[in-house]
C-alpha cells in the first residue's frame, strides 16, 4: 500500500466514523482525535476498521502512530 492509498483509506474511514466531520480540512500533522472531536469509542472503531481494511494487525502500542493523518499513512504504508 502506498502512502497515498493509506491516506485515502484513513480519510474514508474517518468520514464513516464521524460523518459530520471533514478530515480533508485538517492538516496532516494535526491530532485526529482533537481535530475531529473523536471520543475513545470512535477512535477504537477507527482502529478496528483500519485493521480490517488494511489486513494489518494494529496493537495498542501502535495507537500513537495513528494520531495524525501523516503518521497514520506512514504506519500503514510501512513494512
User: 3-77: what CATH class?
Assistant: mainly alpha
- Domain extent listing, the chain: 3-77
In a 10 Å sphere around its CB, with 0-12 CB exposed, 13-18 middle and 19+ buried, how is residue 10 labelled?
A: buried
Task: Identify the band that residue 35 occupies on the pLDDT scale cut at 50, 70 and 90.
Answer: very high
**Predicted pLDDT of residue 13:** 96
pLDDT in tens, 40-77: 999 999 999 999 999 999 999 999 999 999 999 999 99
User: CA-to-CA distance for 75 and 58, rounded, in angstroms?
Assistant: 10
**Predicted pLDDT of residue 69:** 95
- Residues 5-16 have a mean pLDDT of 95
Amino acid at each position: 500500500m502506498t502512502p497515498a492509498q493509506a491516506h485515502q483509506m484513513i480519510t474514508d474511514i474517518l468520514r464513516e466514523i464521524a460523518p459530520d466531520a471533514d478530515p480533508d480540512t485538517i492538516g496532516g500533522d494535526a491530532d485526529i482525535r482533537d481535530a475531529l472531536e473523536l471520543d475513545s469509542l470512535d477512535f477504537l472503531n477507527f482502529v478496528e476498521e483500519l485493521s480490517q481494511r488494511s489486513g494489518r494487525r494494529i496493537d495498542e502500542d501502535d495507537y500513537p502512530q495513528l494520531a495524525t493523518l501523516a503518521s497514520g499513512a506512514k504506519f500503514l504504508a510501512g513494512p
